[in-house]
Structure 1
Amino acid sequence: MNTKRRIRCARTLVGALVGGVAAASAAVVTAAPAQADVLPYVPWSAYLAGWTDEYVPSSDNDCVAGRPSCLKATLKEQSRIADETAASCSHNAVFARAYVRMTQLYGHTRDIDGYYEDEPYFNHVDAVFARYYTDAYYAWKDGDRDEVPQVWLTAFDAAEDKRVSGTGDLLLGMNAHINRDLPYVMAAVGLVAPDGSSRKGDYDAVEEWLYEATAPLIAEFAQRFDPAMDDTQDPFGLGNWTLFQMVSGWRENAWRNAEALISAPTPAARALVEAQIEATANAAAQTILASQSYLPLVQSSAARDAHCAAHVDEDPTVPYAFGQATAYGYAY
């Protein structure tokens, strides 16, 4: 990593949101809620033939090889969920749209020469990471609860039951995807390059832009979904800097857990690591529920839901680093 990049990384290491996101580039594709499926849709399952979570650059499967076409499919799949949930003002729309925004921001940095040491590898990471979320969401939506990790059940159910604040919905999704999914993803895709060097540089490079994305993200969500999200600029009872220090710690712990999964000498030893990963994520979810749930008979999501109904179709007024965002669709 060159000196300039080290300085940039050190300055913004506090940022971390979803730690590994898919890609987007310049042209803007938009769709109103009723038109979310107008564009030809490439089903995620079309990429499953020959799918493996392991990174294989020579694979015929575009996702396994980390080719650009898979990145577009990844973003399209995320946007389908984000558009559908936003159109109905589902509380699941908060994390779904956050994932799309982080995807678009990844695309923005991906176009910066030298930002990532191995772009195809990280394209593959993004596809695998996204599939953990989309698989969990569609299994939950279809009622296949046995196929959904408990921490995702907690997040999706809390959203469906309108149990927590917008900040709570965001944090529950982040917790499930980082504390639970990310260790398995990184262990599967591999932590070491063929020459023996660590992949940690690209993993950490994501954090260089995530903190700076916080302000437009919270502004958009307060505008469209839950006005309380920016009441104090202090989600989860913490300042943004402190909050993202916490999430950055989640990502660092996810990497260490991936190392533990890989180095486990026996299936029994790996099972112990997996049990710890699940327990940590579930405990964090309960902490978020305790702090972010509406108080029964005192609070409800009524004001939030009315606000969403009136404003969800509005394009965000605060631009992101990739440019002006649209309420529906995505930039690629």
Structure 2
Amino acid sequence: MSGTTLVRRVVVLCASALVLPALAAVSSAPAQADDLLYVPWSSSLPGWSDTYTPGSDDDCAAGRSSCLGKTLKELAKIHDLNGQSCSHNAIFSLAYLRMTQYYGYTRDLPDYYQDVPFANHQDAVFARYYTDAFWNWRNGNRSAVPRAWLYAFDAAKNKQVTGNGDLLLGMSAHINRDLPFVIAAVGTVAPDGSSRKPDYDKVEQWLYSATEPMLAEAAARYDSTLDDADDPFGLTYAALFQMVSLWRENAWRNAEALLAAPDAAARRLVADKIESDANAVAQGLLATQGYSLLNTTTARDTWCSAHKGDAAPVAYEYGAVTPWGY
């Protein structure tokens, strides 16, 4: 696939993200009986709250620097599980782990964020929406998993979509579905009345540089076709970044709509629209990123089996990474 072709697909997905009709059903396959049950980390932490509470005994609720280590440990646990088994969920879990490591790098840069403790808290809350969804899905507690995540996790389990499809399904569920609720929960305004949007937008200053090494590593370890659309003009990375930027801006606006709702009924209408829009994006991805009868996952799975523990081929700005752990 050429870079131009991918750009065209991305533009179509972005333009139709909010109007796509239902095209696919969620699989109802339960988690395997021999899967070990795992309690989501936020359920076992005393004092855990989506509300930023600087004086809390819980490091993540208070936004202490040590919270990042707990977040990375949980993300690495999921990635190691997926990667070592060559689950098709491995690509998104790797992407999330590396992006969170990138956040840790930027939060230690002088004056990068206006409020680092708040950013630490928001980072943990955002991660918790993904990790709770994953463990509930894996444990068979499907009623506790948002539908957008069911599309992503089920598609990976059933090997329905390409590596790009798995990555985009996870990104869409987390940004289009989760992020508005996270922003609304942690708050958009600081105690002094200033907007938290500048720190939110700071993330996009490093997302582009983080994308290339992440895609290169995912391709080297899990699916060699993942970065086939790259070309000398960098259209692949630019297209992916622009789509993420669009989704993140829409998430902020949806969070504002949640907070501006005058009552519970009005808030429910906003929440329902967030859910339905995220589901529509997922349905579109399932329709456009699926494998054909002539394009099976055999090569991808064989590649992963041989290369899942390989080193990252492109250096990350924040330093060396290990295949497993963090």
TM-score normalised by length of structure 2: 0.85
Please name the residue that 1:158 is paired with.
155
For 2:254 and 2:133, how far apart are their aligned partners in 1? 21
Q: Do structure 1's residue 259 and structure 2's residue 285 form an aligned pair?
A: no
Quick check: 1:85–1:92 contact (8 Å CA) kept in 2? Answer: yes
The count of residues paired between Structure 1 and Structure 2 equals 285
What letter corresponds to residue 112 of structure 2 in structure 1?
Y
Q: CA 1:46/1:132 → structure 2, altered by over 3 Å: closer, same or farther?
A: closer
- For the aligned residue pairs, the C-alpha RMSD in angstroms reads 1.4
Alignment of structure 1 residues 275-314 onto 2, 5 Å: 275-295=272-292, 297-314=293-310
What letter corresponds to residue 101 of structure 1 in structure 2?
R
For 1:245 and 1:45, how far apart are their aligned partners in 2? 32
Secondary structure (helix, strand or coil) at the match of 2:225 reads helix
From 41, 52, 70, the counterpart of 2:67: 70
What letter corresponds to residue 237 of structure 2 in structure 1?
N
Show CA shifts across 1:282-310 (max 9, x none): 00001111111001x22211000000000
Show CA shifts across 1:26-58 (max 9, x none): xxxxxxxxxxxxxxxx98247631221111111
Q: CA 1:253/1:46 → structure 2, altered by over 3 Å: closer, same or farther?
A: closer
Secondary structure (helix, strand or coil) at the match of 1:99 reads helix
For 2:67 and 2:60, how far apart are their aligned partners in 1? 5
Please name the residue that 1:325 is paired with.
321
From 71, 92, 97, the counterpart of 2:94: 97
CA positional deviation for 1:242: 2.4
Please name the residue that 2:85 is paired with.
88
For 1:146 and 1:110, how far apart are their aligned partners in 2? 35
Please name the residue that 1:106 is paired with.
103
What letter corresponds to residue 288 of structure 2 in structure 1?
S
CA positional deviation for 1:240: 2.3
What letter corresponds to residue 294 of structure 2 in structure 1?
V
Secondary structure (helix, strand or coil) at the match of 1:228 reads coil
What letter corresponds to residue 308 of structure 1 in structure 2?
C
What letter corresponds to residue 144 of structure 1 in structure 2?
N
Please name the residue that 2:56 is paired with.
59
Secondary structure (helix, strand or coil) at the match of 1:156 reads helix
Please name the residue that 1:118 is paired with.
115
Show CA shifts across 1:116-171 (max 9, x none): 10000000001111110000000000000111000000000000001111111000
Show CA shifts across 1:85-117 (max 9, x none): 100000001111111100111111111100010
For 1:319 and 1:277, how far apart are their aligned partners in 2? 36
Q: Do structure 1's residue 206 and structure 2's residue 203 form an aligned pair?
A: yes
Q: CA 1:287/1:188 → structure 2, altered by over 3 Å: closer, same or farther?
A: same
Q: CA 1:160/1:43 → structure 2, altered by over 3 Å: closer, same or farther?
A: closer
| Percent of pairs with identical residues | 61
Quick check: 2:229–2:236 contact (8 Å CA) kept in 1? Answer: no
CA positional deviation for 1:69: 2.1
Alignment of structure 1 residues 127-142 onto 2, 5 Å: 127-142=124-139
Q: 5+ residue gaps in structure 1?
A: 1-41
For 2:285 and 2:41, how far apart are their aligned partners in 1? 31
Q: 5+ residue gaps in structure 2?
A: 1-38
Quick check: 1:261–1:270 contact (8 Å CA) kept in 2? Answer: yes
Please name the residue that 2:4 is paired with.
none
Moved more, 178-187 or 214-223: 214-223
Could you list the runs of 4 or more consecutive aligned residues of structure 1 that deviate by over 6 angstroms after TM superposition?
A: none
Q: Do structure 1's residue 231 and structure 2's residue 228 form an aligned pair?
A: yes
Quick check: 1:316–1:325 contact (8 Å CA) kept in 2? Answer: yes
What letter corresponds to residue 321 of structure 2 in structure 1?
A
Q: CA 1:265/1:45 → structure 2, altered by over 3 Å: closer, same or farther?
A: closer
For 2:40 and 2:174, how far apart are their aligned partners in 1? 22
Alignment of structure 1 residues 173-184 onto 2, 5 Å: 173-184=170-181
